[in-house]
A and B are shown apart, each in its own frame.
Chain A
């Protein structure tokens, strides 16, 4: 008969975005038992590209070919920036491990190297990023060499227009052609949705029909670009089948949310968590979080689990994200941290939250608001000292960064999680020892 379930673990990770997933992954890889609370839906907004650092400083909009040089610049110019507080070696290994885990779950990335890569977006702009899925890398090469190339889109997929991309690039890629085809089996539908196409292409028969439709359109093309719909759980197989069937390199172009690459990411990461024995509470939220006197262990009261659950953890990692992740909550008076009400570094007045121009080069003040942390990634209380001995914060909830403008979202999440978990492990080892 009922009674609130009890559970215990070394690390409780709150949040299941890129940062939460990275933190949980790194924790279990270090042999720490882990319970993770939170909806991974935020990953659906991801493009599948793993930024590290593309722009620095934001105000100048200066792009960097090497993320590590950019990081060095960042360390010089903004020593308080969270990314500037993680050393390059850690960042390298963090990315390696993260990408390796994704690969293990069937979502393969091209080997990372030292340089940023350039990727074509669905509105014809060019994005500077770092980690590129295997299914998109042919696009990076094509963009560099500009060979005769064909962009294919599907009637009804409203977010993606090949003609728009080709036109926008215009004469800077003369060999870029565009064709529109009917998606096999969906001829009667007005609207198509990326995820449905992706799953449909996992069926061999549909896939074959699609390839057969594109083949005669190839012409001179030495590469073919598609919207990112080439398979969901089986993306590698589908992509390989298209390259084999068309006989030229095939690449995907990321689309608007909810994007297939985003679904792939959440799928792969959820699978990783299950496989590594992370206990996931997907729809659960933390109703109460309390630490015992010495701050040794934390007690989390979860709701959104039938019957509820009480978790006692030796350390807690806050990876709840910003406003859309609801780690930060803003009302007319100001910005709050949603679970513990930790002090949030923020502009003095709401008038200073946003610039009058959406694209103001210097970015919006609110985006640099967030939690301040000490060198061990522990959020600071009002008194400027760590709020709790074993409470850590990672990812975009951290203050003094503007990941959207710096193009460092994934980097921030992965790097800070790595660094924080390193601290957690050290702390727990110490506690066990002494």
Chain B
């Protein structure tokens, strides 16, 4: 392999999830130079595949008071310093007929012991405020749960870190570690976007790769004990509730419904998995979620679902435990010194709610090793708003667009009313950071493709818009559309019945029936990974055409 270009930094962070980005910001705030490498994109893993629930901790009062109290404290901090990413919906814990009476009875005391404010709410009053609640509801408690936008949170965290000098390398995968005694001298990386390979020398390396932490540690020769638990969630077509609704029982399947701005997210499941590649929601999981969650919210049985997604929870230190939920949701910080590595650490597990704390602890370790004495500032420093990151917020773009729009600022997405200017802002920001933005990346940073049509109409419009701007050339647009659909589809097939199936049929009628994309799929994808500059795409006389 050709000799890669060298770079050096104080700390190399591996993994661009909530923890990794939080760590980058923490270190940057302490004045430590760092690079964050991510094989895919920000929050591509579990950080972007969850309810977006900012836990009050009440969910864990019985199982793990430690975690419950961490959640309580961290939730309060994030509401303070990252308010723009949080909607303080409040939450209800709801028991229905048949739920464990003893648990219901103990719940207030358990919350009190964890210092979590839980107030009993009259069932009728609760149903008046949340009409979707089952008439078989028997008990309701109000807790300070809230809704957080994980994408905006991590994007703005990373944006802040970069403004402080931290570097981000997306679509860059770690392929090897160069060991030297008890130290890792350098890390070898491979660019997945056609860029050149890299070699980074870092004083400290932090493994924040979430579920991928195990492979990575193994690669570094410091195996860790970790199991994977797959969690699937469904996205409803319309928003069903105003508050975070959690089933009042020991954590089990499908007992949280989260109002995610304009939609609701319901889940999750918990099934052990061994492999990380191609983790997709299954129809069985979707069925299980609908059936179970409908006991708390009957409307879910007839609701139209537009999407399903699955994430993998890394569970540290409990190989062979059957039920993922039995394992602590606490995080793990491993210094690997007993495995003979002095400048390598792994931070994994935990929750979105506690990611700041995890980053703080990891940063403390790294700084101690570096001899940096500056204290952690993330608990007090407000997270600056980054304009180009705000487009992930559901229901925001309609307002922005209705407030004012230039004649040329048309809506590219009708379902969620996303204007062209959103795409422009995101594209230009990524461009400025030296990236070649893809449609999928734009989707991750906006509501494009997140609505009812799941991209069938907005993807072609967005691509047309980018051609018009002169950003796309040759056959790139088509390739981007196909990649985008590939990504969207993974989230769709599990919920395709009823109205959403009709929607999907229309999508296929358009993109296969009329555009014939399936006939050109392969060579386009091949070409997409080639330089986007060369012309390609459909030819007029396909080699496989039969002519008489």
Chain A residues at the B interface, C-beta cutoff of 8 Å: 45, 47, 49, 55, 60-66, 69-70, 118, 121-128, 143, 155-156, 158-161, 163-164, 167-172, 180, 188-191, 254, 256-257, 322-324, 326, 329-332, 349-351, 353-361, 363-364, 366-367, 403-405, 407, 409
Contacts and interface: CB of A to CB of B under 8 A. Distances in A.
B202 interface: no
Contacts of B60: none
Given A62-B546, A354-B493, A354-B496, A349 B283 contact: yes
Nearest to B457: A256
A167 B508 contact: no
B468 A163 contact: yes
Interface in B493-548: 493, 496-498, 501-506, 508-510, 512-521, 535-540, 542, 544-548
B514 A127 contact: yes
Contact of B283 (A123, A126, A254, A350): A350
B148 to A, nearest CB: 30
A217 B457 CA distance: 30
Given A159-B460, A168-B538, A358-B489, A324 B505 contact: yes
Given A125-B517, A360-B518, 8 more contacts: A60-B544, A118-B540, A123-B481, A190-B406, A257-B510, A358-B486, A359-B517, A366-B501
Nearest to B290: A332
B516 A124 contact: no
B89 to A, nearest CB: 29
B506 A257 contact: yes
B482 interface: yes
B331 interface: no
* Most chain B CB inside 10 Å of its own CB: which residue of A55, A159, A191, A354: A354
A330 B546 contact: no
Contacts of B506: 45, 257, 324
A125 B538 contact: yes
B490 interface: yes
Name, among B409, B473, B513, B545, the residue most crowded by chain A CB atoms within 10 Å (CB to CB). Answer: B513
CB-based closest 9 A-B pairs: A170-B535, A161-B464, A358-B489, A164-B467, A404-B513, A354-B493, A350-B283, A324-B502, A359-B521
A158 B501 contact: no
11 contacts: A45-B509, A125-B478, A125-B515, A159-B464, A161-B464, A167-B472, A190-B406, A349-B283, A354-B493, A358-B489, A364-B508
A256 B460 contact: yes
Q: Give the secondary structure class of A's interface.
A: loop
B546 A63 contact: yes
B394 interface: no
A193 to B, nearest CB: 11
B536 A124 contact: no
B208 to A, nearest CB: 29
Given A158-B410, A170-B474, A128 B464 contact: no
B9 interface: no
Contact of A358 (B412, B485, B516): B485
Contact of A158 (B464, B496, B535, B538): B464
Given A123-B478, A191-B411, A323-B505, A64 B546 contact: yes
Contact of B409 (A64, A190, A358): A190
Given A168-B475, A257-B510, A124 B538 contact: yes
Nearest to B409: A190
Contacts of B368: none
B519 A61 contact: yes
B287 interface: yes
Contacts of A47: 514
A63 to B, nearest CB: 4
B374 interface: no
A190 B408 contact: yes
Contacts of A409: 509, 513
Interface in B92-146: none
B13 interface: no
B355 interface: no
B79 interface: no
Contacts of B542: 61, 63
B282 interface: yes
Contacts of B519: 55, 61, 63
A62 B502 contact: no
Nearest to A58: B518
Interface in B53-95: none
A364 B498 CA distance: 16
A405 B513 CA distance: 6
Given A63-B545, A156-B410, A167-B472, A127 B516 contact: yes
The residue among A123, A363, A366 with the most chain B CB atoms within 10 A of its own CB is: A123
A157 to B, nearest CB: 9
Given A161-B464, A353-B496, A125 B520 contact: yes
B544 A65 contact: no
A42 to B, nearest CB: 10
B477 interface: yes
A170 B411 contact: no
B211 interface: no
A55 B408 CA distance: 40
B460 A123 contact: yes
